[in-house]
Amino acid sequence: MKFFAFTLVFIVTNLPSSYAQTILADGEQPQASVDNEGVVRLVFGKKDQIFFSSSDDNGKTFTPPVLVARVPEMHLGMTRGPQLASSKDYSMVTAMDKKGNINSFRLDHKSGKWTKVKNVNDVDGSAPEGLTSLAADDNNNFYAVWLDLRLGQKNNICFATLNGNKQWSTNKFAYMSPESHVCECCKPSVQVNGNKVAVMFRNWLKGSRDLYLTISKDKGKNFSPAQKLGNGTWPLKGCPMDGGGLSLNGNTIETAWQREGIVYYVQPGQQEQKIGEGRRVGMKGNIVTWETGSDLMVHRLNEQTTLIGQGTSLSVVELSDKTMLAVWEKNGEVIVKTE
Average pLDDT on 155-177 reads 93
How do strand 305-310 and strand 12-13 relate by DSSP bridges? parallel
Q: What percent of the chain has pLDDT over 70?
A: 94
Whether residue 8 is predicted with pLDDT greater than 50 in this model: the reply is no
Model confidence pLDDT, tens digit, residues 74-84: 999 888 999 99
pTM for this model (two decimals): 0.92
Spatial separation of the C-alpha atoms in residues 126 and 263, rounded to whole Å: 31
pLDDT at 239: 87
pLDDT band at 302 (very low <50, low <70, confident <90, very high): confident
Distance of CA 17 to the CA centre of its chain: 28
Question: Which residues lie below 8 Å from residue 63, measured CB to CB, with a gap of 6+?
Answer: 53, 54, 55
Express each pLDDT in 95-119 by its tens digit. Answer: 999 999 999 999 999 999 999 999 9
pLDDT confidence tier of residue 165, bands split at 50, 70 and 90: low
Task: Tell me which residue of 226, 184, 224 sits closest to 204, measured CA to CA.
Answer: 184
Per-residue model confidence (pLDDT) at position 11 = 33
What three-state secondary structure class fits 220?
coil
Cα angle, residue 245 at apex, residues 333 and 138 outer, rounded to 5° = 90
What is the pLDDT, as a whole number, of residue 79? 87
Q: Rounded distance, CA 125 to CA 104, Å?
A: 15
Q: Report the helix count and the strand count for the chain, using DSSP H and E.
A: 0, 29
Buried b (16+ CB within 10 A) or exposed e, 218-247: ebbeebeebeebbeeeeebeeebbbbbbbb
| CA pair distance 246, 227, nearest whole angstrom | 14
pLDDT confidence tier of residue 15, bands split at 50, 70 and 90: very low
The separation between the first and the last C-alpha atoms of the chain, rounded to the nearest angstrom, is: 31
The CATH label, of 3.90.245.10, 2.120.10.10, 2.40.33.20, 3.40.50.280, for the domain at 24-278 is 2.120.10.10
Cα separation, 119 vs 167, in Å, equals: 9
66: pLDDT strictly greater than 70:
yes
Average pLDDT over residues 137-156: 96
Q: Is the CB of residue 33 less than 8 Å from the CB of residue 318?
A: no
The one-letter amino acid at 10: F
> Average pLDDT of 272-300?
96
**Cα(165)–Cα(284) distance, rounded to whole angstroms?**
26
Average pLDDT over residues 142-169: 94
- Whether residue 215 is predicted with pLDDT greater than 90 in this model: the reply is yes
Strand partners, 163: 141
Rg (CA), the chain: 18
**Nearest CA among 259, 243, 265 for reference residue 6:** 265
DSSP 121-144: -SSTT--TT--EEEEE-TTSEEEE
The pairing of beta strand 196-202 with beta strand 211-216: antiparallel
pLDDT one-digit tens code per residue, 217-255: 999 999 999 999 999 999 998 889 999 999 998 889 999
